[in-house]
Amino acid sequence: MKRFFLAFLLLLLYLRAYPQESATQIRAVWLTTNWHLDWPSSGLSADGQKRELLNILDSLQKLNFNTVLFQVRIRGSVFYRSKMEPMSSFVRTNTSDGKPFDPLTFAIEECHKRNMECHAWMVTYPLGSQGAFSPKKQDFLSRNQELCKLYKGEWYLDPGNPKTDEYLLSLVKEIVDGYDVDGIHFDYIRYPDENTNFPDRNTFKKYGNGESLDSWRRSNVTRFVTQAYKYVKSVKPWVQVSSSPIGIYRSLSGRGDKWSGFESVFQDSYNWLKLGVQDAVYPMMYYEDKHFYPYVDDWLKNANGRFVVPGLGVYKMLSKEQNWELQKVTRQIDFLKSSNANGEAYFRLGMILDNVKGIKDELLSYYRNPAKLPPMNWLNNEPPAAPYNFQIHRTDSNTVQLSWDPPSSNQNLTYTVYSFYPADSIDLNNPENIVGSGVRNTELTLKIGNSSQGKYYAVSASNRFHIEGRIGEIAYFLPSLEIQK
């Protein structure tokens, strides 16, 4: 009996030291650009801003993240070249080489180099405070008075006006048509908080069409979500459309005793999933205990086959917030890994990189290996052919280069590289076998020193819907420097 309890204790310690890992999982982080929160730091030149972003992305790659939600629109200003809204004043655009700096182009290119996806994160309806408007924003207000509502000192686009849809869709088109983004991600896609007096009665009178005020408001937001989804799929169907809704859709108690998306801000996000106009939702689960676990389960019950990636509020560990202990977050991660969730997202990046209460160290143990992104098989289910001409050769005493030829001239492919031993142990669902995923080139350099233990290697291709094909040739490599001599 004592041996049994000792073995059980050792098993628990092992599981805690080596948490469950998945081969297919979204590992996302919100990279906040507003108010210099995550990037860029105040006072940097354009060259300094670029270097800082590179360092951030390097850190995320080392942590084996695969998705960056990059904030490209804050409140009425943007982080890309737009004909409609001004570049954010937080960006310095003049670089030392004379080439204008476009943050979104740079972020996409550098994410892709590091095998990560870059999703354009847009703040949707808020425009900014009354006293913080630049001349260009003031010009926008004067030209679009019928679209803008002032509420509690903040300007908002009016969701009830169909011309608001047209305006926001124009911004979506700029991003999706003009940039190689992997996703478009909507935030604040709802009415303002505590909005009982939101000044939209004239709009309701004009467009209400017999609905109740609450139902009409929900319909307005759903209308834009639907139009945005249909547009994106008509031009680049592989671009993932997602949002970050309120973590509590409706009170599970039925008493309306908790602030919720459906009842408080007219955000009918379960209906978006039911209608199939979202590829993923990142519900903001910035709660604990009874307001976290049952509500995650509720999201999963209503997923309709789409991805549910709960957002974890690591900022709550800050002393100025709620001073959560690290274990509150790790228990939530453990719960998600034991559920049907498709991964997790973290708000926000700065807490991870600052290693608040050791969260970065913990993620190193959770994300020991790269992870594949889950397939969007409701959009496409045609796997690409296998790569061929797979080769391995040593480049120096510490590095090895793997290379292969693409299965076709189609350049919209990524690759996953596996290593395993023995030859009959290949398992594409074993995370320990993955040495690289989301690779966009047809080569991968690995650090492999001198060893008498060889391994087998193989590579597969995935299309931009993350549909993975079969592996190609299997190659054996023995990294012994003595034998190679």
Name which residue leads in pLDDT, 134 or 39. 39
**Residue 386 burial (10 A CB sphere; 0-12, 13-18, 19+):** middle
Binning pLDDT at 50, 70 and 90, where does residue 4 land?
Answer: very low
Instruction: Please tell me the predicted confidence (pLDDT) of residue 406.
Output: 95
280 pLDDT above the threshold of 50: yes
The pair of three-digit structure tokens given for residue 40, joined into one six-digit string = 């860029």
Q: Is the pLDDT of residue 38 over 90?
A: yes
Give, to the nearest 10 degrees, the angle between helix 326-338 and helix 293-301: 30
Question: pTM of the predicted model, to two decimals?
Answer: 0.94
Rg for the chain, CA atoms, rounded: 24
- What pLDDT shows up at residue 140? 75
pLDDT of 256 over the 80 cut: no
Q: Is the pLDDT of residue 339 over 80?
A: yes
Place of tokens 């006072």: 43
Using a pLDDT cut of 70, give the percent of the chain over it: 92
Can you give the residue ranges of every domain in the chain? 20-366, 388-484
pLDDT for 8? 35
b/e map 34-56, b = 16+ CB within 10 Å: eeebbbbeeebebeebbeebeeb
Instruction: Identify the pLDDT of residue 273.
Output: 98
Q: Report the C-alpha gap between 128 and 150 in whole angstroms.
A: 10
For the stretch 168-185, pLDDT in tens is 999 999 999 999 999 999
Look at residue 331 and tell me whether its pLDDT is greater than 80.
Answer: yes
> Between β-strands 148-151 and 311-312, what pairing exists: parallel, antiparallel or unpaired?
unpaired
pLDDT for 296-322, tens place per residue?
A: 999 999 999 999 999 999 999 999 999
- What pLDDT score was predicted for residue 132? 63
β-bridge partners, 243 = 186, 281
Name the pLDDT band for 14 (thresholds 50, 70, 90): very low
Rounded-to-integer distance, Cα 366 and Cα 19, Å:
6
Q: Report pLDDT for 133.
A: 62
Given a cut of 80, whether residue 477 has pLDDT beyond it is yes
| Residue 92 main-chain phi, psi, to 5 deg | -105, 120
Given a cut of 50, whether residue 13 has pLDDT beyond it is: no
The reported pLDDT for the residue numbered 485 is 46
**CATH number assigned to the domain covering 20-366:** 3.20.20.80
| Across 27-53, average pLDDT | 97
Which residues does 358 contact at the CB level (< 8 Å), separation at least 6?
Answer: 326
Task: Supply the mean pLDDT for the chain.
Answer: 92
- Of the listed ranges 16-20, 69-73, 74-78, 164-168, the one predicted with least confidence: 16-20
Q: Which of 13-27, 309-323, 400-414, 436-450 has the highest mean pLDDT?
A: 309-323
pLDDT band at 7 (very low <50, low <70, confident <90, very high): very low
What type of residue sits at position 209? N
Mean pLDDT of 269-284: 98
Give Dmax over CA atoms of the chain in angstroms. Answer: 84
pLDDT for the residue 451: 73
**Position 11 confidence tier, pLDDT thresholds 50, 70, 90:** very low
CATH code given to domain 388-484 = 2.60.40.10
Phi and psi for 422 in degrees, rounded to 5? Answer: -80, -170
Average the pLDDT over each of 94-108, 309-323, 324-338, 362-376 and give the range with the smallest value: 94-108
- 112 phi, psi to nearest 5 deg: -65, -35
Highest averaged pLDDT of the listed ranges 117-131, 215-229, 388-402, 435-449: 215-229
pLDDT for res 481 = 63
**Confidence bin at 429 (pLDDT 50/70/90):** very high
pLDDT for residue 240 is more than 80: yes
pLDDT over 90 at 362, yes or no: yes
Given a cut of 50, whether residue 75 has pLDDT beyond it is yes
Q: Is the pLDDT of residue 324 over 70?
A: yes
Question: Nearest to residue 442, comparing CAs of 400, 411, 464?
Answer: 411
Q: Which residue has the tokens 């069409």?
A: 209
